[in-house]
């Protein structure tokens, strides 16, 4: 299996973690989900992210789930594993285990206690040492969940100081200006070029982010074909087509981005599509009401009509 | 001028505060802006909100601006004034002044130091005493800006304990479940019915919120006609039409909701539409790049084509 | 081994986790540390707390460390294990393992995402179910680290709804009023009486908290004899003596409470006292400077003189 | 009246704002308070700080209070005025008014929305422009109240870029290392020397901070003589004497630092000492219980005995 590198492009789909109705890991659904994502044309997968309910799994369950995904993927696309942890010992341990069974790299977000630029850069230097020079990793910039703001200059310093950082998962908002600044710095040769995949709001700014030089998306909207097709249209320099596709999915993508219940919406859609057997989110987690499900149904029907009209 | 009461419906537009390029209050643009909003069919105005750059005005400027808006409105619609303040003395002073010159009521968000339910309820009891029993006020539930989470039961207790609270500005996310719970409580006669206007994300969930019983919107998207027409379609029980209109504006509405630069986008659109003379945001505040403006232009053109198609 | 119950009193010492200079678990120091605490007269131990660097341990290391402590304690005093976790599956797993090898109970703090009273009470009802009715647990109220404010009424509701909650670890500030309110509620028979041990600022308000009805302390100041003797003097109704002892240790206790470097100060003192072999804090963590160590030395010498004067 | 400059030393006492029992400004108590502080030997005063309930005053009240203090001080010591504000227009207005009537300078904390180093430095460059080159100002580093972490390098950049910044009010925790780093940078000639006064926890680390090179204290403990005498002993290179004095006051100083009720404790002590007529804190604010007052009385009596013993 090839490791992740800075040439990564396209859609790295952030997977959910399927559970049965009573909260057990659902490995059959895991297989079906992997097949579904691969058929949608994703170029990579990311597991054990925030939307993968990573912190709700036991250490053993994490191992079992990652192994199942890697086995099913069978080397067809690279698989990135979320490895953020409050301490370096658990981060090192998880990383060693998943790299050993075929992960392409790991993803690390800053610890929520970090504040100043110096602290943040120092933290990721230690991350680089902890993971080891041969483990490529993704820098996750997601201030909404971490509370840590990383400025353009901080990200540049991390990229300069830690060669094993090969990708930025860009989820800051406002983010378009940051994206432009980072991309133009590497275009001018002032900064090592890393891959930049965006995740803002489940892809809610995807066309604009591609316009600023993003290499693709790393997010988990329950219609991965949206991201795949928007990226493809953009690659074909058909920007209006990219927006047409994006706009057709936007009402539902927006609905899936409601803080608090977003993951439940995503799992409901995936269950409705037959991808996973149960929409269950592990406790503590939200449940959808009948009204929520009716909203999803209406938006899905409208989306289908809209897609029919533009294709 | 009639005071605000619990029967308020429709669109209470949150106005910007227009400045000249060099940062002075622009009163000519203020007049034009008021006319523009009234012509769009709004049923009320809200000034000195977060998006009105209230905290960047001196006390004198606040007075001048509110008076100018009230004079121009001339009693045609009620005007609500943001009166949140860290202390009750400034809140009382501002409220007395604006009520004296014709405001219909004020709006108050919780102080950012409040945490427990008891503290929050106690705070708003003091707010009620501070404003006086004859000043109707709007409870602003906006955890993203205040950091204060108000549960359904807290809001119920405030409504029960403070009769001068006549409206909820609902901006919590997740919010649909809270909206359903509040509305059904008053439908069952268990809770005094107050007006509920929603502001979530500049109206990004407006159709669904109307579906849960909201009486309209209190937000400031630069196309007020969107909110007016969606509310009208909903009133006419033409839900699909409401969604059609909403969807046409959604890509630009979403772009206007970028944290950090959203207000600059809103003012740019209003300036592009000829409503205000300058898109300037007072310092400290963001500026748009050429790429941001190009994004706005593309989205505006696409929006125009889409609107032509559905009308 | 008896399980923890609501009659617990005295000093439950929060242990550090000893490491060697290169960051490995130091089990010899662990034994010595247990002996030291027992000789100081503590009535219980708490391991894997925030000051125990719990999140920096791998799952295996946690098991090894807890087992070593339990073996060394040999049933002489109850041992509480910190079991806070973002998800219930890892919380259940850790709890089952440590109860199986002889822990007296576990301690759980609220998840940092909780905000409203309803959410907090609901969370701890699920905690009670997750742990099982036969596992006694300590409710940790530590808003500085969790960001969650629990009012007196929330704590009462948790105590009422979850019978397996037998102790409150009280670390809120302002906390004296809350302590008075909880204790008087149980004195009046309105609330089941649980044990209340305080941890505020490493015990920086210990005499006043005992005065309000606390049953003792659960904290980790490097001079456990201070807490033991202050509690004893208070039991003997010799309040001025309790303050005399407290005041003698206060300058150093205060120094140990510096946010950010406090744990490094604590471990330095324990190393200076010969309790643990190395003062190392696991990465990411602070290091003391020569000036910090000189401060500690001066304060220790002054403390020795002061203790000599009052004894 | 001389303006504030970088040579400032000693104790700049942060005043409370006295109110009558019914919440009105108490100008007689203001006079008495000023006299009390001057007699205690302070070298400066700071008004309208966080502990001065600045945000609870109307704009007019702020003016009246500052003028009263300045008139009573009569130029004997410099007076610094807190001028932090969410917007630059109110900051400029307040600064112009108070400098016009004789203030020595103003104090500004970072806006709570700032996160990255770039944002913070940029903000204070705008502060410098807003105030004008001839207005000396104090940089307030108080992350507990602002939520903004300023690293040593950020503070250095602000000092380098904004010449009108003449003082740092140092209230970060951990802060001793930062203090050492800043002071050694100016000692080595690498950084313009500014005055550094410390406020940590109401002076709870004063002797250690003087040991790291602080020029004095800016804080408001109700016994200003403690800070004055500790600074004097340190100037006389009598470090043990400085600690003896400090230790005598520490139990009460610690009690005054309880988050939430600290200001009420401070005002109670000042009222007990006859400095201000009423201990009232303006709403929203805390009230002391009988038990709180008994604690204060006991600690005061113990303090008196201890002071008698060391003098």
CA dist A213 and A195 (Å) reads: 10
Neighbours of C277 (CB within 10 A): 17
Beta-carbon separation of D87 and B57 below 8 A: yes
CB nearest B115 (choices: C149, C152, C153)? C149
Distance of CA D110 to the CA centre of its chain: 16
3-state secondary structure of D221: coil
Radius of gyration of chain D (CA): 19
Beta-carbon separation of B250 and A254 below 8 A: yes
Contact criterion met (CB below 8 Å) for D203 and D229: no
Give the number of A-B residue pairs with CB atoms closer than 8 Å. 81
3-state secondary structure of A79: strand
Q: Which residues of D touch A (CB under 8 A)?
A: 115-119, 143, 149-154
Task: Specify the pLDDT at position D98.
Answer: 96
Determine whether C310 is exposed, middle or buried from the number of CB atoms within 10 Å of its CB (0-12, 13-18, 19+): exposed
Beta-carbon separation of A282 and C87 below 8 A: yes
Q: What backbone phi and psi angles, to 5 degrees, belong to A72?
A: -70, -40
According to DSSP, the residues that pair with D108 across neighbouring strands are: D139
CA dist A170 and A179 (Å) reads: 8
Task: Specify the pLDDT at position C57.
Answer: 92
pLDDT in tens, A191-227: 999 999 998 777 899 999 999 999 999 999 999 999 9
Q: HEC string of chain B?
A: CCCCCCCCCEEEEECCCCECCCCCECHHHHHHHHHHHHHCCCCEEEECCHHHCHHHCCHHHHHHHHHHHHHHHCCCCCEEEECCCCCHHHHHHHHHHHHHCCCCEEEECCCCCCCCHHHHHHHHHHHHHHHCCCCCEEEEECHHHHCCCCCHHHHHHHHHHCCCEEEEEECCCCCHHHHHHHHHHHHCCCCCCCEEEECHHHCCCHHHHHHCCCCEEEECCCCHHHHHHHHHHHHCCCHHHHHHHHHHHHHHHHHHCCCCCHHHHHHHHHHHCCCCCCCCCCCCCCCCCHHHHHHHHHHHHHHHHHHHHHC
CA C122 to chain B, closest CA, distance in angstroms equals 13
Task: Specify the pLDDT at position B311.
Answer: 81
Closest CA to C223 of C276, C290, C293, C273: C273
- Please compute the mean of the pLDDT values over residues A47-58 and round it to a whole number: 89
Is the pLDDT at B1 greater than 70, yes or no? Answer: no
Beta-carbon separation of D176 and C247 below 8 A: no
Residues B289, B294, B297, B303, CA torsion sign: negative
CA dist B70 and B27 (Å) reads: 12
CA dist B289 and A181 (Å) reads: 11
Contact criterion met (CB below 8 Å) for C258 and C1: no
Closest CA to B276 of B18, B62, B13: B18
Beta-carbon separation of D115 and A153 below 8 A: no
CA dist D158 and D192 (Å) reads: 11
State which residue of chain A sits closest to C283, comparing Cα positions: A88
Contact criterion met (CB below 8 Å) for A86 and A130: no
3-state secondary structure of D79: strand
CB nearest A58 (choices: C57, C58, C89)? C89
Determine whether A134 is exposed, middle or buried from the number of CB atoms within 10 Å of its CB (0-12, 13-18, 19+): exposed
Which residues from chain D sit within 8 angstroms of residue A119, using beta carbons? Answer: 149, 151
Give, in order, the Cα–Cα distances in Å from A195 to each of A226, C219, D17. 20, 47, 56
CA dist B263 and B283 (Å) reads: 12
CB nearest B151 (choices: C117, C149, C153)? C117
Max Cα separation, chain D?
54
Task: Specify the pLDDT at position B182.
Answer: 96
Closest CA to B45 of B259, B217, B292: B217
Task: Specify the pLDDT at position B171.
Answer: 86
Beta-carbon separation of D123 and B87 below 8 A: no
Q: Give A174's pLDDT tier (boundaries 50, 70, 90).
A: low
Task: Specify the pLDDT at position B284.
Answer: 81
Q: Which residues of B touch C (CB under 8 A)?
A: 115-119, 143, 149-154
Beta-carbon separation of C143 and B117 below 8 A: no
Contact criterion met (CB below 8 Å) for C80 and C12: yes
Which residues from chain B sit within 8 angstroms of residue A254, using beta carbons? Answer: 204-205, 250, 254
3-state secondary structure of C133: coil
Task: Specify the pLDDT at position D174.
Answer: 64
Q: Residues for chain D: how many in total?
A: 311
Taking only the tens of pLDDT, chain C with its 311 residues reads: 579 999 999 999 999 999 999 999 999 999 999 999 999 999 999 999 888 999 899 888 999 999 999 999 999 999 999 999 888 988 999 999 999 999 999 999 999 888 888 899 999 999 999 999 999 999 999 888 888 889 999 999 999 999 999 999 998 776 899 999 999 999 999 999 999 999 877 789 999 999 999 999 999 999 999 999 999 999 999 999 999 999 999 999 999 998 889 999 999 999 999 999 999 999 888 899 999 999 999 999 999 999 999 88
pLDDT in tens, B86-100: 889 889 999 999 999
Beta-carbon separation of C261 and D212 below 8 A: no
Q: Residue C299: which residues within 8 A CB-CB, separation 6 or more?
A: C251, C252, C255
According to DSSP, the residues that pair with A196 across neighbouring strands are: A168
Radius of gyration of chain C (CA): 19
CA D118 to chain B, closest CA, distance in angstroms equals 13
Q: Beta strands D79-82 and D10-14: pairing type?
A: unpaired
Q: Angle at CA D109, nearest 5°, toward D114 and B285? A: 40
User: In angstroms, how far is the first alpha carbon of chain B from the final one?
Assistant: 37
Neighbours, chain A (3 or more CB pairs < 8 A): B, C, D
Q: Beta strands A216-219 and A10-14: pairing type?
A: parallel
Q: What backbone phi and psi angles, to 5 degrees, belong to C19?
A: -120, 160
CA D260 to chain C, closest CA, distance in angstroms equals 6
Instruction: Give which of A110, A142, A149, A175 to mutate to test D binding, by max D Cβ within 10 Å.
Output: A149
| DSSP-H helix ranges across chain D | 27-40, 59-73, 88-100, 117-131, 143-146, 152-161, 176-187, 206-211, 224-235, 239-256, 262-272, 290-310
Closest CA to D213 of D178, D238, D245: D178
Give the long-range contacts of residues A235-243, CB within 8 A, separation 24 or more: A239/A207, A239/A211, A239/B298, A240/B302, A242/A207, A242/A210, A243/A207, A243/B251, A243/B298, A243/B302
CB nearest C258 (choices: D173, D247, D254)? D173
Beta-carbon separation of D116 and A143 below 8 A: no
Q: Angle at CA D142, nearest 5°, toward D140 and D144? A: 160
Is the pLDDT at A297 greater than 70, yes or no? Answer: yes
Beta-carbon separation of C59 and A57 below 8 A: no
Instruction: Write out residues in chain D with pLDDT < 70, as ranges.
Output: 1, 174
Q: Residue B283: which residues within 8 A CB-CB, separation 6 or more?
A: B23, B56, D88, D126, D130
Radius of gyration of chain A (CA): 19
CA C153 to chain B, closest CA, distance in angstroms equals 8
Task: Specify the pLDDT at position B211.
Answer: 96
Beta-carbon separation of B116 and C143 below 8 A: no
CA C258 to chain D, closest CA, distance in angstroms equals 6
CA D254 to chain C, closest CA, distance in angstroms equals 8
For chain B, the domains span: 10-239
Outline where DSSP puts E strands in chain A: 10-14, 44-47, 79-82, 105-108, 137-141, 165-170, 195-198, 216-219
Contact criterion met (CB below 8 Å) for A46 and A218: yes
Which residues from chain B sit within 8 angstroms of residue C151, using beta carbons? Answer: 115-119
Which of left, alpha, beta for D206 (phi over 0: left; psi -120 to 50: alpha)?
Answer: alpha
Beta-carbon separation of A177 and B292 below 8 A: yes
Contact criterion met (CB below 8 Å) for D40 and D224: yes
Tell me if the bond preceding A186 is cis, omega within 30° of 0: no
Distance of CA D93 to the CA centre of its chain: 22
| Percent above pLDDT 70 for chain A | 99
Which residues from chain A sit within 8 angstroms of residue B205, using beta carbons? Answer: 254-255, 258
User: In angstroms, how far is the first alpha carbon of chain A from the final one?
Assistant: 37
3-state secondary structure of D216: strand
Beta-carbon separation of A116 and D117 below 8 A: yes
Ranges A288-297, B290-299, C283-292: which has the least confidence = C283-292
Contact criterion met (CB below 8 Å) for D186 and D152: no
CB nearest A283 (choices: C55, C61, C88)? C88
Which residues from chain C sit within 8 angstroms of residue D252, using beta carbons? Answer: none
Neighbours, chain B (3 or more CB pairs < 8 A): A, C, D
CA dist B257 and B221 (Å) reads: 9
Question: Selecting from 3.60.20.40, 1.20.1740.10, 3.30.70.920, 3.20.20.70, what CATH number does the domain B10-239 have?
Answer: 3.20.20.70
How does the average pLDDT of chain A come out, rounded?
Answer: 94
Contact criterion met (CB below 8 Å) for A207 and A243: yes
CB nearest D57 (choices: B57, B60, B89)? B89
- The residue among A91 and C202 whose pLDDT is bigger is A91
pLDDT in tens, B154-172: 999 999 999 999 999 998 7
Task: Specify the pLDDT at position D1.
Answer: 55
Task: Specify the pLDDT at position A145.
Answer: 83
State which residue of chain A sits closest to C91, comparing Cα positions: A58
- Please compute the mean of the pLDDT values over residues B267-292 and round it to a whole number: 95
CA D57 to chain B, closest CA, distance in angstroms equals 6
CA A8 to chain C, closest CA, distance in angstroms equals 30
Tell me if the bond preceding C153 is cis, omega within 30° of 0: no
């Amino acid at each position: 299996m090839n490791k992740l590198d800075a040439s990564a492009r396209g859609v790295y789909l952030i997977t959910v973690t399927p559970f049965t109705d009573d909260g057990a890991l659902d490995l059959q659904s895991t297989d079906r989900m992997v097949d579904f994502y691969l058929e949608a044309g994703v170029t990579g997968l990311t597991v054990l992210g925030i939307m993968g309910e990573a912190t709700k799994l036991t250490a053993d369950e994490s191992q079992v789930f990652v192994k199942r995904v890697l086995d099913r993927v069978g080397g067809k696309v690279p698989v990135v594993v979320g490895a953020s942890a409050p301490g370096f010992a658990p981060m090192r341990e998880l990383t060693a285990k998943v790299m050993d069974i075929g992960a392409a790299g790991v993803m690390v977000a800053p610890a929520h206690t970090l504040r100043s630029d110096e602290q943040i850069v120092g933290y990721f230097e230690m991350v680089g040492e902890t993971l080891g020079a041969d483990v490529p990793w993704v820098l996750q910039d997601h201030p909404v969940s971490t509370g840590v703001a990383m400025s353009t200059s901080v990200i540049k310093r991390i990229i300069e100081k830690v060669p094993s950082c090969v990708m930025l998962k860009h989820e800051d908002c406002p983010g378009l200006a940051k994206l432009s600044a980072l991309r133009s710095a590497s275009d001018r040769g002032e900064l090592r070029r890393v891959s930049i995949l965006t995740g803002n709001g489940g892809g809610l700014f995807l066309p604009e982010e591609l316009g600023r030089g993003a290499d693709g998306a790393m997010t988990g909207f329950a219609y991965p074909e949206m991201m795949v097709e928007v990226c493809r249209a953009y690659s074909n320099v058909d920007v209006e087509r990219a927006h047409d596709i994006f706009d057709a999915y936007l009402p539902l993508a927006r609905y899936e981005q409601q803080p608090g219940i977003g993951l439940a919406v995503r799992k409901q859609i995936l269950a409705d599509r037959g991808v996973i057997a149960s929409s269950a989110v592990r406790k503590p987690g939200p449940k959808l009401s009948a009204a929520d499900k009716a909203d999803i149904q209406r938006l899905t029907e409208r989306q289908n009509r809209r897609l029919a009209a533009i294709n």
